[in-house]
Amino acid sequence: MDKRIRRFYMPMTETSFYILFALQNEMHGYSIMQYVKDLTEGEINLGAGTVYTSLSKMEKDGLIVLAKTESNRKFYNMTDLGREILDIEILRIERLYKNSRT
């Protein structure tokens, strides 16, 4: 894995984590925000600029890929690299959780 990508996504910001987590299923910008809002019971309300900027960066870094464009909305999917990074992050967060409970 690229050093630059490792440095930027490990550890990942909460925003990046939830966006990447949402993209385990094909989604577009607004549906990602809705999904994250529901998942966190309204706790995390992503802004339009935040979602757009994150998606552009993740696409450029190869974590996600454009699946289709429908009525001007770009739908994204996670790539293998994205999956790999998300799994590493989930392990890290689980370890963090476990250690903070002992």
Partner 1 sequence: MVKKIRKKFYLSDFEEEQAFLSSQRSAGWRLTEIRGKKYFFEECDQESVVYQIDFNPKEQQKSEYIQLFTDFGWTFITDKEGKYYFSKPASQYSEDQLFSDRETKMMMCNKIMKRKLIQLIPLSVIAVIISTVLALNLFYLDLFPTGILFILSLIWIGWLSLTLYSMKYVSGFFKLKKIINGNLN
Tell which one of 20, 33, 81, 85 touches partner 1 (CB under 8 A): 33
Nearest to partner 1 of 46, 86 (CB atom): 46
Q: Which of 56, 80, 79 is nearest to 67 (CA)?
A: 79
CB of 71 vs partner 1, minimal distance in Å: 8
3-state secondary structure of 102: coil
d(CA 102, CA 99): 6
Structure tokens at 78: 């996670």
Residues in 61-90 that interact with partner 1 by CB under 8 A: 69, 71-74
Q: What residue ranges bind partner 1 (CB under 8 A)?
A: 13-16, 28-30, 33, 44-54, 57, 69, 71-74
